[in-house]
Structure 1
Amino acid sequence: MRKLVVLKLDGDLHLGVQVTLEIGEEGKRPTTEITGKLPSNLDMEIAIDQWQSTYRSLWKFTRIKAKKIIYDGSISQRRQECNTKASEVREHLNNWLLSESFRPVREKWLKHLMPDEEVRVLIRTHCLQLKKLPWHLWDLIDRDYLNAEVVLSVPESEPVTAALQTSISRNKIRILAILGNSDGIDVEQDRQLLEKLPGVTTTFLVEPEYSNIDDKLWKQPWNILFFAGHSTSEGEASCIYINKTDKLTIDELRYALRNAVANGLQLAIFNSCDGLGLARELQDLQIPQIIVMREPVPDKVAQKFLKHFLEVFSAGQSIYAAVRTARQRLKGIEKEYPGASWLPVISEHHAVVPMTWAKPRIPNIRRLGTLLLLSLLITVGVLGVRHQGGLQTWELLLYDKFMRSRPQEKQDSRLLIVTVTEDDLYLPQQKQRSGSLSNLALARLLDKLAQFQARTIGLDIYRAEPVQPNQAALTTRWKTDDNFFAICKVSDRTQNYPGVSPPKGVPPERQGFSDIVPDSDNVLRRHLLAMQPANPTSPCTARYALNAQLAFHYLEKKGIFAKYTPQGDLQLGNIVFKRLRSRNGSKTEAQMGGYQKVDIGGYQILLNYRSFQGSPLEIAPIVTLTDVLRGKVNPDQVKDRIVLIGTTAQSFRDYSLTPYMTEQGFSQEVPGVILQAQMVSQLVSAAIDGRPLISVLPVWVEVLWVWSWSVVGGAIGYAVSQTLTWRYRSRLYLLLTAGGVLGGLYILCLILFYHGIWVPLVPSTLVLVLTGGTVAIYLSTQQGQRQLISTT
């Protein structure tokens, strides 16, 4: 974090100067403040005037056009005299700043600032005499604090506007370059330097008329205003010579410049002579930052400064670092051009947020390779854990959340559910029952359904009660009604249960098993369509589930027949029901989507529940046994529908857990008959309506998907590693961006799930966070090590 040091100077060299020192971090209120005093110093006033007079006598051709200068003596003598006067000024300045009355200020500086810190030293004064002093030669700055840069300002000014608080846009930078009167000088070099800048749009006005400059400042937004040519500051008025005959004062551009500032102008560079007066007037217009030359400047010095400044500034370093580096580079030509390093100075509004040339950072090839390698290694690691089933619990929990988050659907009007409730157990027709439904009640129920022309009937109740001789009609119906299907159970491995027989008399082709495959948490997420009974002694030999038998029969009446593709997948119409398959050739364990270690026996697909009003219970219209037997059911509710008969009585505990939740936060249970209805609806709705099935991506697509999010995480980590010196707000924006990416990933996965595609969210989130964190820590550590090495 850059430190800000403010020296408020009230007074002059004649009367002495009252000094207030403030120290704090950029963008924050100062944490330290102390006052002191500097005594009058007429000797330094004389020394600076003598240096200025000697310096101005050196040059015949500079970028000043104000008055003629008489040159006496040889050039080498004048250069030597200029260097001597410069040394005198430096000595007077540092002796003055060692005054006893100034000691508290100096000690406070040394106590609160570290020599390796980047420091902006803001000299705030109205006194032009004090602004002319070479503050950069103060021994604290020139010898001890090598990362400090002096900036000029005024004690009071208008509140900073919003335009001053922004940095140069990450879009293409716009520069308005005015090349004015060039008699005796070469501004073409300035033009060539500007033209070489990457990512910049520069508009050149060569010896323009006043109206041309005014129009450009009013009609187009600019980030940087540049001027090269002759200029001068005399008294209260400063001017630039825009062509061979015309000069222009800052006051004449007042309104145009204020409009330019409102539209984003942030930096004015006047690579011309005698700029302190220009800076004072430009600062009154709230131009955030201004770079000028404090004295007449030879062509070569102006060109060297611009070259070195643009190299550093356009590379992304601060304007202070760029000016400091360029000024230090000018030291190398002072044998020929004495005082060259004294010339460039920054003047700025005191409340401006220091700007940078914010061109996008492009990672080098080595860092890009590191990012890709880390992202690949982390992706392989996470997918390896996933392959071993380490993420299955989390993935299934998110699967459930996605299932609950989907929009509600309409009830499936092709189905009707007849339930046997606790109250139905006490009907007169139920007196002879031995289970949930007596033969008498079942016979009368089937008569009613046949009378109302039900298309398909499924009995989801085991028939343990034997048929009496006087109920032969029931057995006959089971044998002859081709739309009646009954249930049986193949086996129950968990309880070592051999199975349940179908009702006697129901032919094998109209039998369906009730077996299901709940997950390890007992939640049912998969739909078992078919299987080859592994137990030859089982009384139930049905190959298809009851729900599949009902769906096949119903669809056959509509001309849709079940068949298998060459790959062995079930197909109904144009819809292929892709089964859970093992990716490693295992015949017992599935690896598909979030499932990595589950029983793959039989023909399994994912169960796409239908919910109405947020509940899977209301999948279809429901009536009770009492309603049917007492004639309370409209025949239209039954005609041409699939009718499922089953019990919802709690005493029989035919319930299974689903991905849905109760209001109390528990997994919602549904009766077996509702579960069968969900499965029938899935098959029929997919075949007829094209309702999406839940599918997963091919394994190679899943790998690319996860890896791509790892790369995104690495890119965010790279950005984080570049923000170590950013302001808190910048880091906050970056964290919000990272949170937005995670939120976007979640929403994208949810939208895809709405359309029936289950993509790996948990692995993607893990690799995004892990890669981002690893890259940020790795690159930040490297950056810290480089900084440590550079300061030792």
Structure 2
Amino acid sequence: MIYEFQRWLRSVELYDLRAQIAQVSQELAKAKPGTTEVVQVFLSCTPIELSRFPWEVWEVGTEFATAGAIQIIRTPLNIAAPTVVTPNKPHQGRARILAILGDETGLNFEAEKKMLKSLLRIADVQFVGWQPEKTAAEVRQEISNAIADERGWDVLFFAGHSNETEMTGGELGIAPDASLSIREIAPQLGAAKKRGLQVAIFNSCSGLSIADALIDLGFAQVIVMREPIHNSVAQGFLVQFLQGMAKHLDVYASLMAARQFLRMGKSHTYPSSYLVPSLFCHPGAKLYQIPQFQWQQRLRQMIPIRFEAIALAVSLTLGVLTPFQELLLDTRILTQSVYRNVTAQIPSEEAPPVALVQIDTESLYRAGIPETQIRPMNRSYIAKLLDRLRTLNTSVVGLDFIFDTPQKDPPSADQDLGQAVRRAVDANMWLVFGALLEPTREVGTNEALGINKWNWTLQGYVDAYPNFVELPDADRDCRKTCPFAYLLSLVQLANQEMIGLPQPQTTRQQNLRAQLLDVIQRQHPQTGNLSTLWHWRSPFGLQPLIDYSIPPSKFTPRFPLGN
């Protein structure tokens, strides 16, 4: 169904509309180079059946190769109340979150509670909701009073069961066999909005009428699940969404990160579940993000608890004793692993930032690859892998192979790989090839083979010590020699946090790596992960260790090519 829907979105009938949206994005990028502004496309659907379609798959920017970002945001057709753009209340420098936990029948809210409590260092979180000793009337009154709290809220969160009801604006299951309609609490919601409520998040099923009702009341932003969704999917979405909010991303960026998690982690068991969460906005409202700390709050967050302080002091003392570093390295890694296990810090469900595509024995057997074409690996086979990644809309790909000499077996290997590379590049895929490091240069893919060109692909060296994270040498220019994994991370973060980047295209005439690094150096954000990575320097000359205490499956899932 999604394929047919995407096909219709790319139809001739909608070409003029797509072209107009793309033109606005291109004009914005030209008028304001390096701007963080984006083009927002607000979609209104009626009847409600049209709202169930996954409009978020509309890839206007990809079709027209626009440099600026295009956001697809939903909004009701009719809105009665205007949104009140209330300045973020300081709340003593911290955001305030009201978490309503409804009927838990068939559900388990432990993951939601744990993730919300993890925000306590940057926000005040209050829980209300059903408990076995409370009656439905008591729960209803407690929820109403909490919403209308005179101190106000920034974020309203609900977890539980919900239903679409056109007449009452949707119903929330607050206790077994008891529900609360949006119409019943409309006065309290209106008061909360006037006191600064910015975002409402409903981690429950069938929330379209809830979103329409709240936006109609003048709410700025509402996140709902359009369709019934499995509890494990809803929990995974919430964990990743709140992690984005904790990093001070706005609600749209946090939603996109959560969707990416569902797409990567749930695609086999719950296909297309990543398209169920939807953002509804009041036109003109500014996307909410938890405000950055003042220096007092930042200092309080950085102060470790007693056990953390002891472990940190011991680790630092041992770490600065250079003669003993090699001797104590294994002990330090073991201690870190034990500490992480004892404190239960191994993430249970988190968006994997990296996916390793494993060419395993079974995949080679199915493809009929003879042993003579394994070392070096059959490049025609790598070309098929690259084509498959392109169909999955993968944005950044690293190829940890050295293509420095021609391959004669099979005879068409270099040509097949070269054609696959060109198809990927023209689909705006960032390709990073592996190379070996020599004293003053990198030796990698030979352009004479016709596989690639450095005007539209990247290269990074794969040489590294087994226990340390390889970072650029402060005395070297990364435009000439740059670590493979570092370059991959840099490209990924730049695509997430910047606009106006040079785009991979086979028609380019300038060196892509040099131009990319020039743009990042001039225009990179002053805060965020990209800024941290760009400015990172080893303290006291100590190289960061690879964290072996986290199982590889938690951050680098493997996908056999045969699947």
TM-score range, shorter chain: 0.3 to 0.5
Query: If the length of structure 1 is used for normalisation, what is the TM-score?
Result: 0.34
Query: If the length of structure 2 is used for normalisation, what is the TM-score?
Result: 0.47
Query: 1 or 2 for the larger relative contact order (CA 8 Å, sep ≥6)?
Result: 2
The structure with the greater share of residues assigned to strand is 1
Decide which structure has the larger Cα Rg and report it: 1
